[in-house]
Amino acid sequence: MKPGKFFIAFVLFITLLIAAASQAAEKTQPFKFGTIPVLQSLPLFVASEKGFFKEQDLNVEIVTFNSAMEKDIAFTSGQIAGYFGDIMTPAVLAANGAKIKMVATNFNTTGEQRMFAILASPKAKQQDLAIVAGSGIATGSNTITEYLTVRLLALKKVPRESTRLVDIKSIPIRMQMLLSDQVSGALLPEPLATLAETKGAKALADDRGRGISATVLAFNTSFLDHNPAAVRSFLTAIEKASAYINEHPDEVRGIMNKACKVPEPLQKSFPIPRFPRLSVPDQVQVGDVYRWLKGKKIIKTTLSYKDLVADGFVR
């Protein structure tokens, strides 16, 4: 080989080695990812338990928080690189200056499964949705549950002006008040909605097939900029976990019961959710949540879809 060609080949070889080493270093960088123990976060726990992160040469610690507030504090203080949650929280954080963007939607309700329902008290004399709404529906003000309550009532043609919302942010207390007839109705997430039904509550409306209950995966924008390959590998592991859940539902029941805190009476019978392929957060839904937040004056900052969503990570 001529000296010139040898030199070019040598430089190319060294360049490839450096690129490979850089990519490997990026993939193996340890990071923490936060979540709360809800059904929609099941793929995170399955990916961890089944070694799907390790298959991607990732060192990921899934950190579980007892509340969304704890999770948000951990994110804004830099304790975690990213987290699982609803669309609303990243929008609020971004409006308040946090460096965060959503990268993927991992779940949304289909026509066969629900995640939230408005239920009437077992002791309610009237179980008509409009009447129950006028008497009072327990939800959490300025949260995703209020957004869902308002949207579900609108879809059922219940006028907003004739609706009374009762602010009870604690979901367990909300359920207790519903079952004891202290409120006529309440919005509850699964599996508590199903548990309430076993105790006599009646579901009057739910998010089945509505496409309004997306959950997303979000990251610190600095982490996205410096670790794009690691984020894509993370999403690959989540995608594999989602497929595994769909193909082996009985095998993941134990993980779901423990990690997602399924109530004991439902641990053998509650249906395992089916998870879709990851997708880029829907622009229409992101926009609807953003406009609702703006209308409520929860956020005042003008944000575009591109300010909230980082494209190019879902394969």
Q: 165-204, pLDDT tens digit by residue?
A: 999 999 999 999 999 999 999 999 999 999 999 999 999 9
Domain endpoint, select from 206, 237, 254:
206
Residue 42 has pLDDT above 90, yes or no: yes
Confidence of residue 112 (pLDDT cuts 50, 70, 90): confident
Residue 261 lies in a domain: yes
CA end-to-end distance (rounded Å), the chain? 41
Residue 247 lies in a domain: yes
Domain assignment of residue 120, given as a range: 116-206
Residue 57 lies in a domain: yes
pLDDT mean over 201-220: 96
Amino acid at 95: A
Residue 241 lies in a domain: yes
Residue 15 lies in a domain: no
Confidence of residue 125 (pLDDT cuts 50, 70, 90): confident
The CATH number covering residue 146 comes to 3.40.190.10
Residue 131 lies in a domain: yes
- Name the residue with tokens 């309700």: 109
Sequence-ordered strand ranges (E) for the chain = 31-35, 60-64, 82-86, 100-107, 116-120, 137-139, 165-167, 185-189, 202-206, 215-220
Domain endpoint, select from 154, 173, 206:
206
Please tell me whether residues 94 and 40 are part of one structural domain. yes
Residue 294 lies in a domain: yes
Domain endpoint, select from 182, 206, 230:
206
- Total of domains in the chain: 2
Please tell me whether residues 222 and 99 are part of one structural domain. yes
Please tell me whether residues 99 and 223 are part of one structural domain. yes
pTM over 0.95: no
Which pair of structure tokens corresponds to residue 297?
């004056």
